[in-house]
């Protein structure tokens, strides 16, 4: 009903009634952030130092395996269910054939084993892609002409998946955007008796300027060219829906949209259309942007962070990968 000043000298509805105090706002809140919505990405390195600060990701360090175990224990105590692991490897280990990605004693395999032994009930999500292992920083192998070799890459991703699964990873998260990788990985898992291994595919992953600090974090120096022949064009929506449909049909259990805030519309479309658990990655550049604004005094840190995370929930996300996870878990506990 609209307010008619002639019929009634007062508004027919007063939405502000339900905003007058914290308790009533809380009672009528349509969306809530819970600690179990959070997945915490951490970086592990193969250096002697326990921790090494990442310049572009204020407050985020690369960790030794022992330190990662400590963080996993703390995360679990705070109620975080899943940790996502990313490696930073010594430059000498990176090669054009990315063979370190399938090393049965590789850094991430060792990290999985150590965390599983110490904190058995935390979920371990691992990135399936070759960029931390290639000397050129691309997610796939290159052919003689410098182009991404899709099918040869998929074969490596399959081996990487089996290697990490054997090491104790619970959720494989292919972030490479090669065609056909989900089906190939799923078939290989089934054939090897790993029918319970979960796949969260980075199904709608866009070629984005917001990945800069991440590349710094994993030590990719000068990426030759860009990732636009495999990651999606930010102009497209329908293509994201096709990508998600393909990955689900090939055996993905959960899907992800990435980056987060600039692609909220995609999160909403995907979650509404497919009704499968839909995750969103608040990527490194989004994190860095908030930190920079806070540093300048333009924004309150915790309010800004919470507002972005609630936006993901509003858009229909089942969960959020965010570098703020541990801090937010502490805030939610307080
Ligand atoms: C690549 C990968 C990327 C991220 C996760 N996995 C970057 C890229 O595609 O270049 C980005 C994460 C972030 O920016 O926080 N395998």
Backbone angles phi, psi at 329, to 5 degrees: -60, -40
**What is the Cα–Cα distance from 164 to 175, expressed in whole angstroms?**
15
Domain of residue 287, CATH code:
3.20.20.70
Domain with 136, as residue range(s), is: 33-333
Q: Does the annotation flag 243 for ligand binding? A: yes
For residue 2, report the distance from its CA to the centre of ligand 1, in Å: 49
Does some domain include residue 205? yes
Tell me the mean pLDDT in the region 51-76.
Answer: 97
Q: Does 206 fall in a domain?
A: yes
- Domain annotation covers residue 116: yes
The atom of ligand 1 lying closest to the CA of 211 is 14
Please write the tens of the pLDDT for every residue from 140-149: 999 999 999 9
pLDDT of residue 11: 81
Question: Cis link prior to 259 (omega < 30° from 0)?
Answer: yes
**Is residue 26 in a domain?**
no
Instruction: Name the nearest CA neighbour of 83 among 255, 321, 312, 252.
Output: 321
Could you tell me if residue 16 is inside a domain? Answer: no
Q: Is residue 17 part of a domain?
A: no
Ligand 1 centre distance from Cα of residue 60 (Å): 15
How confident is the model at residue 235, as a pLDDT?
Answer: 98
133 C-beta closer than 6 A to ligand 1: no
What's the chain's average pLDDT?
A: 96
Annotated catalytic residue 296: no
pTM score: 0.96
ipTM: 0.97
Does 7 fall in a domain? Answer: no
Please say if 258 is a catalytic residue.
yes
- Domain contains 282: yes
Ligand 1 pocket, residue 243 CB under 6 Å:
no
Of 76, 116, 227, 258, which residue is the catalytic one? Answer: 258
Rounded (5°) CA angle 184-263-239: 45
Q: What is the pLDDT of residue 323?
A: 98
How many domains are contained in the chain?
A: 1
Measure Cα distances from 224 to 138, 230, 231, 263 in Å.
8, 14, 15, 26
**Alpha carbons within 13 A on the beta-carbon side of 230:** 26
Give the tens place of pLDDT for each residue, 276-317.
Answer: 999 999 999 999 999 999 999 999 999 999 999 999 999 999
Q: What percent of the chain has pLDDT over 70?
A: 98
What percent of the chain clears pLDDT 90, i.e. is strictly above it?
95
pLDDT score, position 334 = 86
pLDDT of amino acid 3: 64
């Amino acid at each position: 009903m609209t307010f008619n000043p002639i019929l009634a000298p007062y508004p027919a509805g007063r939405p502000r009634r339900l905003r007058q105090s914290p308790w009533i706002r809380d009672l009528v809140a349509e969306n809530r952030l819970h600690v179990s919505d959070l997945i915490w990405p951490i970086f592990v390195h193969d250096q002697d130092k326990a921790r090494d600060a990442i310049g572009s990701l204020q407050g985020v360090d690369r960790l030794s395996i022992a330190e990662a175990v400590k963080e996993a224990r703390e995360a679990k105590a705070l109620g975080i269910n899943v940790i996502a692991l990313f490696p930073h490897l010594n430059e000498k280990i990176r090669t054009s054939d990315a063979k370190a990605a399938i090393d049965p004693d590789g850094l991430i395999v060792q990290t999985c084993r150590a965390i599983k032994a110490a904190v058995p009930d935390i979920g371990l999500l691992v990135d399936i892609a070759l960029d931390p292992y290639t000397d050129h920083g691309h997610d796939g192998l290159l052919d003689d002409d410098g182009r991404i070799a899709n099918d040869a890459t998929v074969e490596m991703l399959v081996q990487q998946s089996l290697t990490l699964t054997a090491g104790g990873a619970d959720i494989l998260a292919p972030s490479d955007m090669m065609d056909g990788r989900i089906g190939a990985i799923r078939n290989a898992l089934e054939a090897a008796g790993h029918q319970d291994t979960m796949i969260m595919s980075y199904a709608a992953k866009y070629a984005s300027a917001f990945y800069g600090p991440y590349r710094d974090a994993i030590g990719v120096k000068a990426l030759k060219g860009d990732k636009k022949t495999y990651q999606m064009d930010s102009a497209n929506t329908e293509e994201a829906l096709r990508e998600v449909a393909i990955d689900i049909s090939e055996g993905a259990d959960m899907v992800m949209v990435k980056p987060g805030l600039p692609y909220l519309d995609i999160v909403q479309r995907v979650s509404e259309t497919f009704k499968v658990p839909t995750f969103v990655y608040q990527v490194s550049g989004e994190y860095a942007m908030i930190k920079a604004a806070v540093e300048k005094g333009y924004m309150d840190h915790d309010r800004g962070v919470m507002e972005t995370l609630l936006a993901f929930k509003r858009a229909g996300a089942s969960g959020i990968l965010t570098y703020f996870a541990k801090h937010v878990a502490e805030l939610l506990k307080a």
